[in-house]
Structure 1
Amino acid sequence: MTVPEAPYFPGIPAEHQPATGSAPGWPLVLYFHHVHPELRHYTSVTPDEFATGLERVLKDFDPYDPADLLAEGGPRRPDRPAVLVTFDDGYRDNTVHAREILDRFGVRAVFFVCTGLLGQRSEQPRQDHLTYEECDRLADDGHLIGAHTRTHPHLDRAPADEGRRETEGSLADVRARYGPGPARLFAYPYGGVPEDPALPDEVLAFGTVRSPAAPWTESPQAIRRTYLPSGSADAWDGLVRHWRTGWA
């Protein structure tokens, strides 16, 4: 199968371009921050955009059940093109706006939360975080709650001891509330993967478009994720087709 030319999105730096999807045969992993009617950021979409994007992606990719990340012997490799949906930081709009849309499409996601910021409320959406009780409701829906440090530092720039406290602390927080399974899932703030992540071997760790597309068995702690650029829904069809033809 011929892979169509990679779509290019003006205004997005080259290192943040989303055209590269997953390694062939491995789940496409999408990441979002906000689903909010007013915010504008390249990984933050409106509720209508989120629904449109999910509908388009699911025409070519089956939903990947996050529970399969925790399968005995390692994450299940899908037989067909599959997509894993993830959210970073733990913003309240994820449950206000995204939760119902995920349910409508039968998609279960991983919510990577900054455990030290949970419960912080603000009129500003970028500082308005989920509570643990809201995370509990997401978990009751079948979503998984993963770790994203406690306070969202740049781990690739932080001193090693600070980075270790942030990662170990957030994993411990998740383990205490949601058990050892979800505590095997981690995402790096800003996609910055430190030279030594200092994560337990059993932890699957997710980067962003800054990580190369590699088989998860080769790079289980720097898994690439990509995204649907906000405000560019007219170009998503070509982007999804590009991801699909590159899958196998």
Structure 2
Amino acid sequence: MRPLPPVVPGVPAEHQPALGSAPHWPLVLYFHHVHPDVRHYTALSPDAFERGLEQVLERFAPYDPADLLADGGPRRPDRPTVLVTFDDGYRDNTTHARDILDRLGVRAVFFVCTGLLGRRSPRPREDHLTYEECDGLAREGHLIGAHTRTHPHLDRITPAEGRAQTLGSLDDIRERYGPGPARLFAYPYGGVPAGPLLPDGVLAFGTVRSPATPWTADHQRIRRTYLPSGAADTWAGLVRHWRTEWDGTSGPSADGPALTASEREER
């Protein structure tokens, strides 16, 4: 019998993180902040972020973001992999998360709101990266993707406003980083509008509000999940369950083995 998925206390059913990815497609995690003082369901302290990623990397190798841009579409991995993503473009992504990612051999996708870049504030939730800081991340092998210009609910505004926000941010990314990164987009709040707003060739990422379907079946509603803040005691169970889903199997052996030393060295 397949084990029941772990349930995170206090999290509504529609936001539970246990559903990962379709079998044999990358597990995709999303974060907003890595900061000691921010309280948000996808915000972790630097220590917690490092511990959480270490647990994930025991069973999933890093997925290289460059493989998202392969000719013919994103490369499907031949082993369990995880793609790490960040939303909104907060400054702590570089001041706190960057060194941890480097230490663990992980390259990420940073989905930024292009109209908010450069806005500084003493409040971490309003303190954004600059384009120059994004350039530094890109030079190190990370990818910069689009997340609209000013972070509206795309499912609550008019189609014309939605097109201006989505296509405008894709144009901003294309102008700075080229056509490859301009094929990557993430929906603010995970709100996917009813009508199409994106060019067909764009890979678009949702949140836990999106279904876990193969990317070839629905490449503009890719599910992402998260390590819930304040619930570190659930992370080990979540990682085991995500690996079970990746394997697409059930039963006592479904958890799959941890990565071997040689597999970890390949990161």
User: 1:19 aligned to 2:18?
Assistant: yes
User: 1:9 aligned to 2:8?
Assistant: yes
1:40-78 deviation per Cα after TM superposition (whole angstroms, max 9, x unaligned): 111111101100011000000010000000001110000
- Cα distance in structure 2, aligned partners of 1:158 and 1:49: 36
Equivalence for 2:65: 66
- Cα distance in structure 1, aligned partners of 2:124 and 2:4: 36
User: 1:126 aligned to 2:140?
Assistant: no
Equivalence for 1:141: 140
Listed as ranges, the matches of 1:179-218 within 5 Å are 179-218=178-217
Equivalence for 1:42: 41
Aligned-residue CA RMSD (Å): 0.7
- Cα distance in structure 2, aligned partners of 1:243 and 1:44: 20
Length, aligned pairs only = 247
Identical residues among aligned pairs (%): 77
1:130-188 deviation per Cα after TM superposition (whole angstroms, max 9, x unaligned): 00000000001100000000000000111000000000100000000000000000000
Higher Cα radius of gyration: 2
Amino acid at match of 2:6: P
Deviation at 1:235, TM superposition (A): 1.4
- Conserved? CA contact 1:86–1:109, under 8 Å: yes
Q: Which runs of 4+ in 1 moved over 3 A?
A: none
Structure 1-normalised TM-score?
0.98
Equivalence for 2:238: 239
Deviation at 1:5, TM superposition (A): 1.6
- Cα distance in structure 1, aligned partners of 2:245 and 2:172: 37
Evaluate the alpha carbon distance shift between residue 175 and residue 223 of structure 1 in structure 2; reply closer, same or farther with a 3 A threshold. same
- Conserved? CA contact 1:88–1:112, under 8 Å: yes
User: 1:229 aligned to 2:228?
Assistant: yes
Deviation at 1:4, TM superposition (A): 2.7
- Cα distance in structure 2, aligned partners of 1:232 and 1:3: 23
SS at match of 1:60: coil
User: 1:87 aligned to 2:89?
Assistant: no
SS at match of 1:176: helix
- Cα distance in structure 1, aligned partners of 2:196 and 2:156: 12
Larger deviation: 196-205 or 89-98?
196-205
Structure 2-normalised TM-score?
0.91
